[in-house]
Amino acid sequence: MGDIYDEIRQKIFKICKHQDLLAQPVRVRARALTTEEAIGNPEADDFPLQKGKERLMQAEFLNAAGQAFTDQFGDFEGILEDVLQMPLENNFRRAVFVSTINASLRHTNQVNGTVHCRDSGPGQCAVELVHYLKAGHGGLKIAQIGFQPRMVEFLAPEFPLRVLDLDPDNIGDQKFNITIEGPENTEDAIDWADLLFVTGTTIVNGTIENFLGRKPVIFYGTTIAGAAHLMNWDRFCARST
């Protein structure tokens, strides 16, 4: 992958080497969580996790856990240094890498919010999101990258909003009076928007660089917790733990 991943790799490697974590025979685990484990019993049934399109990978590193959404999931076991040096050639490897960064930075107390919220958390997060955006970005046109249902539900009445998604089951559908657009409209949506509100899973699926350096960006979700900290990117994730 590109320079963004190289920069992230260098930053996390330096931190973990300084903390003497690379030299230890540390066991790192990543596994796909069931829906019940990941988000409990939310109030609606339209989350990607519940539809089986994506799963959460969870890395367990010493006393900490970190997660990442991915559509390519499985198990991995090794030492921290192996993860930080692995080639990031597909979504599975990037999910292992990203979830491990989240767990290792959680262990060193540099980040919080690396585990997905549960139950009524997504709805509460969406309410806080509207207040957050109105305070700093009132009246701006927002392009949301990634269909997160509660966020779209609460943003749509309050802002000029376009929503893009990769899931063919969503594209073309009306959700909360918004027509979900496909990735072919990305450039047009970026040109139209004043603010990009981008799912953190873009760092796993390899599309993140499409959204950097163009317009103001706020990332959302647990997946990008560690990378956002390392790269000083804005992130909103109000109810994660």
56 contacts 67 by C-beta, under 8 angstroms: yes
Q: Are residues 39 and 79 in the same domain?
A: yes
Q: Are residues 101 and 128 in the same domain?
A: no
- Distances in Å between the Cα of 132 and the Cα atoms of 35, 37, 125, 217, 225 are 28, 29, 10, 14, 18
From CA 89, how far away is CA 94, in angstroms rounded?
Answer: 7
Q: Are residues 54 and 93 in the same domain?
A: yes
Give 64's strand partners: 61
Query: pLDDT category, 110, cuts 50, 70, 90?
Result: very high
- Report if residue 32 sits inside a domain: yes
Residue 43, classified by CB atoms within 10 Å of its CB into exposed (0-12), middle (13-18) or buried (19+), is exposed
- 49-107 pLDDT, tens per residue? 444 467 788 898 998 999 998 888 778 889 999 999 999 999 989 999 999 999 999 99
Of the candidates 107, 132, 156, which is a domain's last residue?
A: 107
Of the candidates 107, 133, 154, which is a domain's last residue?
A: 107
- Report if residue 8 sits inside a domain: yes
- Report if residue 115 sits inside a domain: no
Query: Residue 207 is part of which domain span?
Result: 121-236
Return the closest-CA partner of residue 112 out of 103, 125, 122: 103
Radius of gyration of the CA atoms of the chain, in A: 17
78, HSE (Cβ side, Cα atoms, 13 Å): 14
- Report if residue 241 sits inside a domain: no
- Report if residue 9 sits inside a domain: yes
Q: Are residues 84 and 147 in the same domain?
A: no
Q: Are residues 146 and 77 in the same domain?
A: no
Return the closest-CA partner of residue 154 out of 174, 127, 179: 127
* DSSP-derived 3-state class of residue 33: coil
Q: Are residues 85 and 182 in the same domain?
A: no
Q: Are residues 74 and 154 in the same domain?
A: no
Of the candidates 107, 129, 144, which is a domain's last residue?
A: 107
- Report if residue 113 sits inside a domain: no
**What is the CA 83 to chain-centroid distance, rounded?**
19
Could you tell me the sign of the dihedral formed by the alpha carbons of 121, 127, 130, 133, in that order? negative
From CA 79, how far away is CA 216, in angstroms rounded?
Answer: 37
- Report if residue 34 sits inside a domain: yes
CA triplet 21, 235, 170: central angle to 5 degrees?
A: 110
Q: Are residues 102 and 134 in the same domain?
A: no
230 contacts 8 by C-beta, under 8 angstroms: yes
- 150-184 pLDDT, tens per residue? 999 999 999 999 999 988 889 999 999 999 999 99
Q: Are residues 42 and 134 in the same domain?
A: no
Instruction: Give the domain CATH number at 199.
Output: 3.40.50.11590
Q: Are residues 153 and 103 in the same domain?
A: no
- 22-52 pLDDT, tens per residue? 865 344 455 555 555 655 555 455 555 444 4
Q: How many domains does the chain divide into?
A: 2
Return the closest-CA partner of residue 44 out of 147, 162, 161, 198: 147
Q: Are residues 190 and 141 in the same domain?
A: yes
Residue 121 or residue 186, greater confidence: 186
Query: pLDDT category, 192, cuts 50, 70, 90?
Result: very high
Task: Determine the pLDDT at residue 230.
Answer: 98
- Report if residue 116 sits inside a domain: no
**DSSP string across 57-118:** EEEEETTEEEEEEESS---EEE-HHHHHHS---SHHHHHHHHHHHHHHHHHTTS----S---
190 contacts 164 by C-beta, under 8 angstroms: no
Structure-token pair, residue 3: 């320079």
**What is the CA 191 to chain-centroid distance, rounded?**
23
Q: Are residues 128 and 231 in the same domain?
A: yes
